[in-house]
Amino acid sequence: MRITVIGTGYVGLVTGTCFAESGNDVICVDIDAEKVARLREGISPIYEPGLSELLVRNIKEGRLQFTTDLTEGMTDSALVFIAVGTPQGDDGAANLNALWAVTDQIRETATEPKIVVVKSTVPVGTNAKVLARLNKESKHVHRAASNPEFLKEGYAIEDFMKPDRVVVGVREPEVAKVLEELHRPFLRTNHPFLSMTPESSEMTKYVANCMLATKISFINEMANLCEALQADINDVRMGIGHDRRIGFQFLHPGVGYGGSCFPKDVRAMIALAEQKGLPAQMLRGVDQINEDQKHVLFHKLTEIFGKEMSGRTIAIWGLAFKPRTDDIREAPSLVLIDHLLKAGAKVRVHDPEARENVKEIYGSRLTYCDRAYGTLEGADALAIVTEWNEFRNPNFDVMKALLERPVIVDGRNLYELDQMRELGFTYHSIGRATVNPEGVS
């Protein structure tokens, strides 16, 4: 099947590459000529495990192409996927300007009827507006469908190739059949293909992300309460996670969620509820708890060193909002860095993939280290923000020798309390007792 994917951001590039990998002829369209030129050479603009290899292979085998010309990109395509960004607007709702621009371009340049599939995350009711806009004074009768993505950054290839489910929103059974045929190679493990109305599919995407965000904010609020009441959130998490009605997924306490999906999707749902005169009290709480949680590591540092942070050197491990990605959008690390710089601290940072993205924001105000241990040289404390695997089993003797003071504030609960006590570290984590064997301050 010949497929067009408009937009080569995270969703569009993964979608186009994975469809090509399953044997389709895919052409991806983007207005960024420089990005398209790099993609033609097999250079991915994002870090996603496994993506570069698939990109290079499918370009080489002729199944995957890139262009800036929409007319060329749509020639002979049975399906046109829209995967442009829908960032948060000033009012909290999704900004659909790019979506409308692409919709109008499809209408104006299509030389035959198209099935236009909206892959972008959009407010409920958007697909109906896309359909109306496609067919307004058009020479052809186009059809529109919805196909929300459920990709976890860092695991996107696996999620696409082996989805829990595929959701499509359609108006005609024949469109559902086309989309089911396209996704059949990915559903061999009997996971469901769920066909519903476009409105229900649009809502499914938002509800899924809001539910997961709610679990994260809930466990973080409980973790803070555990810490205040001298309970241990890890014990509590085990106690509730074995309840099959609850489970363990997304119940890891930390410094809050970030990225391109959860923050903006929660706020988009709040805005949508307000448009309908509903208060969205739970979602407002989810968002506020998460924003507050991003400040927790700085508060712990001020508990250790007092309000006078000026002149202190703080090492940070982890800058991306989660491991296995270079994405720093809404990342908790940025909140911590902002606090530390404002307080006059010196900041040394390491992340396996996200350093350059952070450097574009902060420039020479930070010290960027190629190795994790390099950040520790002369530092008064280490703050762990992202749970990259390489941080889980470090050489603690080396760490202690490099640090000016044996102080760790761990936003991901990577280490055991008894271990930290035996090693002589002052150790602050999330929702657990503080370890302070030497009374370091």
Find the angle CA(64)-CA(70)-CA(75) to the nearest 5 degrees. Answer: 70
Instruction: Supply the residues annotated as catalytic.
Output: 261
123 is in an annotated binding site: no
153 is in an annotated binding site: yes
Residue 257: per-residue pLDDT:
97
Do 55 and 185 lie in one domain? The reply is yes
**DSSP H helical ranges for 294-369:** 296-305, 332-342, 355-362
205 is in an annotated binding site: yes
Do 232 and 328 lie in one domain? The reply is no
Cα 440 vs. chain centroid, distance in angstroms? 36
Residue 410 lies in a domain: yes
Residue 437: per-residue pLDDT:
77
439 is in an annotated binding site: no
Name the DSSP letter for residue 2: E
121 is in an annotated binding site: yes
Do 389 and 266 lie in one domain? The reply is no
**DSSP H helical ranges for 33-163:** 33-40, 51-60, 70-74, 97-109, 126-135, 156-161
pLDDT at 36 over 80: yes
Residue 78: per-residue pLDDT:
86
3-state secondary structure of 143: strand
Name the DSSP letter for residue 414: -
Neighbours of 101 (CB within 10 A): 12
150 is in an annotated binding site: yes
Residue 47 lies in a domain: yes
264 is in an annotated binding site: yes
Domain count, the chain: 3
Do 38 and 130 lie in one domain? The reply is yes
User: What CATH number should be reported for the domain holding residue 350?
Assistant: 3.40.50.720
Mean pLDDT of 202-228: 97
Phi, psi of 118 (to 5 degrees): -85, 115
Residue 134 lies in a domain: yes
User: What CATH number should be reported for the domain holding residue 223?
Assistant: 1.10.1040.10
Confidence grade of residue 85 (pLDDT, cut at 50, 70, 90): very high
Q: Domain containing 259: what range?
A: 205-292
Record the pTM: 0.92
The torsion defined by the Cα of 385, 390, 396 and 399, in degrees rounded to 10, comes to -60
Least confident of 14-18, 133-137, 231-235, 435-439: 435-439
Do 308 and 166 lie in one domain? The reply is no
Domain-ending residue, one of 250, 265, 292: 292
Do 116 and 221 lie in one domain? The reply is no
Q: Would you say the C-alpha torsion 327, 330, 336, 342 has a positive or negative sign?
A: positive
Do 167 and 79 lie in one domain? The reply is yes
Q: How far is CA 427 from CA 144, 342, 349, 406, 413, in A?
A: 54, 24, 19, 8, 10
CB 130 within 8 A of CB 103: yes
CA distance linking residue 407 with residue 411, whole number of Å: 13
pLDDT tens figures, 94-141: 899 999 999 999 999 999 999 999 999 999 999 999 999 999 988 899
Domain-ending residue, one of 148, 163, 196: 196
pLDDT tens figures, 274-284: 999 999 999 99
Q: Would you say the C-alpha torsion 245, 247, 253, 255 has a positive or negative sign?
A: negative
136 is in an annotated binding site: no
378 is in an annotated binding site: no
pLDDT at 441 over 60: no
Residue 8 lies in a domain: yes
Residue 153: per-residue pLDDT:
94
Residue 435 lies in a domain: no
Please enumerate in sequence order all residues whose Cβ is within 8 A of that of 204, keeping only pairs 6 or more positions apart, or say none.
148, 167, 196
Do 115 and 176 lie in one domain? The reply is yes
pLDDT at 440 over 60: no
Residue 397: per-residue pLDDT:
96
Phi, psi of 23 (to 5 degrees): 105, 0
Domain-ending residue, one of 172, 196, 220: 196
CB 195 within 8 A of CB 204: no
Q: Return the percentage of the chain with pLDDT > 70, whole number.
A: 99
Type of residue numbered 167:
V
Mean pLDDT of 384-401: 97
Type of residue numbered 45:
P
Residue 279 lies in a domain: yes
321 is in an annotated binding site: no
71 is in an annotated binding site: no
Q: Return the percentage of the chain with pLDDT > 90, whole number.
A: 94
Residue 438: per-residue pLDDT:
61
Residue 93: per-residue pLDDT:
87
Residue 390: per-residue pLDDT:
96
Do 113 and 139 lie in one domain? The reply is yes
Do 106 and 37 lie in one domain? The reply is yes
Residue 352 lies in a domain: yes
Residue 137: per-residue pLDDT:
87
Do 106 and 13 lie in one domain? The reply is yes
Residue 218: per-residue pLDDT:
97
Please enumerate in sequence order all residues whose Cβ is within 8 A of that of 41, keeping only pairs 6 or more positions apart, or say none.
none
Residue 41: per-residue pLDDT:
96
CA distance linking residue 4 with residue 147, whole number of Å: 14
CA distance linking residue 11 with residue 85, whole number of Å: 9
151 is in an annotated binding site: yes
Residue 18 lies in a domain: yes
Mean pLDDT of 28-41: 97
Residue 91: per-residue pLDDT:
85
Do 282 and 310 lie in one domain? The reply is no
Residue 439: per-residue pLDDT:
58
CA distance linking residue 218 with residue 208, whole number of Å: 15
CA distance linking residue 254 with residue 392, whole number of Å: 15
Mean pLDDT of the chain: 96
